[in-house]
Amino acid sequence: MLRVTNTLTRSVEPVSPLEPGRVKMYSCGPTVYRPLHIGNLRTFILADVVRRVLAYHGLDVTAVMNLTDVGHMTDELTGQGRDRMMLAAADEDLTTAEIAEKYTQLFFDHSAACNIIAFDHYPKATDHIEQMIELNAKLIERGHAYEAEGNVYYDVTTFPDYGRLSGQSLEDMQAGHRHDHVDPVKRHHQDFLLWRSAGDRRELVFDSPWGTGYPGWHIECSAMSMHLLGDRFDIHTGGVDNVFPHHEDEIAQSEGAVGHRVVSTWIHGDHLLLGRAKMAKSAGNVVTIDTVVQAGHDPIAFRYLCFTARYRRQVHFADEALDAASTALRRLRERVATLGTGEAGPATDAAARTGLAPPALAYHERFMDAVDDDLDLPEALTVLHAMLGDDGVSAADRRRLALSWDHILGLRLAGDETLEAGLTALIDEREQARSAKDFAKADALRDELRAAGVELIDTPDGVRWVRR
Helix axes 358-372, 377-388, angle to 10 degrees: 160
What length does the chain have?
468
C-alpha dihedral sign at 278, 109, 68, 90: positive
How far apart, in whole angstroms, are the C-alpha atoms of residue 397 and residue 460? 18
| Closest C-alpha among 279, 293, 282, 222 to residue 41 | 279
HEC-encoded secondary structure of 221-276: HHHHHHHHHCCCEEEEEEEHHHHHHHHHHHHHHHHHHHCCCCEEEEEEECCEEECC
| Residue 253 contacts residue 194 (beta carbons within 8 Å) | yes
> How far is residue 298's CA from residue 113's CA, in Å, rounded to a whole number?
9
Contacting residues for 328 by C-beta, under 8 A, at least 6 apart:
304, 381, 385
Which residues is 269 bridged to in the sheet? 239
**Residue 79: predicted pLDDT:** 45
**Domain covering 3-269 assigned CATH 3.40.50.620 in the classification:** yes
Residues 6+ apart with CB under 8 A from 116: 41, 44, 45, 48, 410
SS3 168: coil
- pLDDT confidence of residue 286: 80
- Residue 184: DSSP 8-state: T
Q: How many angstroms separate the Cα of 273 from the Cα of each of 48, 89, 315?
A: 20, 29, 6
8 A C-beta contact, residue 192 and residue 245: yes
Angle of helix 299-306 versus helix 38-56 axis, rounded to 10: 70
Q: Tell me the CA distances in angstroms from 74 to 69, 77, 82, one per residue in order.
A: 14, 9, 6
**Long-range pairs, 77-83, Cβ under 8 A, ≥24:** 77/178, 77/179, 77/181, 77/183, 77/193, 78/179, 78/181, 78/183, 79/196, 79/197, 79/199, 83/201, 83/204, 83/214
Distance between CA atoms of residues 104 and 156, nearest Å: 33
- Dihedral angle computed from the Cα positions of residues 17, 18, 22 and 28, in that order, rounded to the nearest 10 degrees: -80
Burial of 365: CB neighbours in 10 Å, binned 0-12, 13-18, 19+: middle
Amino acid 181: pLDDT: 57
Q: How confident is the chain (468 residues) per 10-residue block, as mean pLDDT?
A: 97 98 97 92 98 98 95 51 78 88 94 95 97 98 97 97 94 61 83 92 92 94 98 98 96 98 98 78 77 90 98 94 96 92 89 96 98 98 98 96 98 76 84 85 85 70 64
| H/E segment holding residue 381 | helix 377-388
Domain spans in the chain, listed from the N-terminal domain onward: 3-269, 274-409, 421-467
Classify the phi-psi angles of 155: left when phi > 0, otherwise alpha if psi is within -120 to 50, otherwise beta.
beta
Residue 428: partners with Cβ closer than 8 Å, 6 or more residues away: none
Q: What is the pLDDT of residue 202?
A: 82
- CB 266, CB 247: distance < 8 Å: yes
Identify residue 181 by its one-letter amino acid code. H
**What is the 3-class SS of 311-336, one letter each residue?**
CCCCEEECHHHHHHHHHHHHHHHHHH
| 201-231 as b/e: b if 16+ CB within 10 A | beebbbebebeebbbbbbbbbbbbbbbbbee
Distance CA(307)–CA(195), nearest Å, equals 39
